[in-house]
Amino acid sequence: MTDTLTLFVDAQYASPYAMSAFVALSAKQAPFELRTVDLGAAAHLAPAYAGLSLTARVPTLVHGEFALSESSAIGEYVEDAFPGPALYPADPRRKARARQVQAWLRSDLMPIRMERSTEVVFYAKHGPALTDAAHAAAARLFAAAEALLPAGQEHLCGDWSLADVDLALMLNRLVLNGDAVPARLAGYARRQWQHPAVQRWLAFERPPL
């Protein structure tokens, strides 16, 4: 495919979903243009962008005449549409597990997402002590991550996948705030943060909050 690629992300580079789409394209080594959308100014609700995105959210990927929003759909599309390093395992069961993890992280653990926003991750902003609800969500997160990462295993599904980025981000909401996280999981999150595509995202200059 030779159509140009454009990825729309939030102007603060703080959306975990925009980060996931950015990492997908970067890991695939697909050349793309990056454009920002000012969510604070409600630019995502402007008719031109909302009509393009359909969901009026970031990220949105535009590939020629085709536009697609929702980061999990973008990751799967990039995997299927472009050559390059794999974003998901080839084995159907491992691929399903990676997608299960991604779907879970996007739909659950709301107390963590509310009390440890991505401002903790990308702006080094610290939050107050976790509530009981967030502690309970963290316990579920740790239990699942421990089960998914047997001792000595570097990645969730054998080889690196986008699910590793998403899980590391959820863990880093806690790690980077100084909350108690099992040492093995904290180490896993730190290692995933060193992926070159993640480092590219982290390097963006972010506007003040």
Give the 3-state secondary structure of residue 68. strand
Average pLDDT, the chain: 95
Residue 1 has pLDDT above 60, yes or no: no
Which residue(s) pair with 35 in the sheet?
8
What is the DSSP code (8-state) at residue 149? S
Give the separation between CA 183 and CA 194, rounded to whole angstroms.
Answer: 17
pTM of the shown model: 0.94
Q: How many CA atoms lie within 13 A of 194 on its CB side?
A: 5
CATH topology of domain 92-195: Glutathione S-transferase Yfyf (Class Pi); Chain A, domain 2 (1.20.1050)
Helix H or strand E encompassing 202:
helix 196-202
Tens of pLDDT, residues 180-199? 999 999 999 999 999 999 99
Tens of pLDDT, residues 64-104? 999 999 999 999 999 999 999 999 999 999 999 999 999 99
What pLDDT, on a 0 to 100 scale, did the predictor assign at position 209? 83
What's the CATH code, domain 5-86?
Answer: 3.40.30.10
Tens of pLDDT, residues 138-184? 999 999 999 999 888 899 998 999 999 999 999 999 999 999 999 99
Q: What is the DSSP string of 26-39?
A: HHHT---EEEEE-G
Give the pairing type, strands 66-69 and 60-63: antiparallel
Percent above pLDDT 90 for the chain: 95
Which residue from 106, 191, 109, 202 is spatially nearest to 155, judged by alpha carbons? Answer: 191
What pLDDT, on a 0 to 100 scale, did the predictor assign at position 3? 85
Domain ranges of the chain: 5-86, 92-195
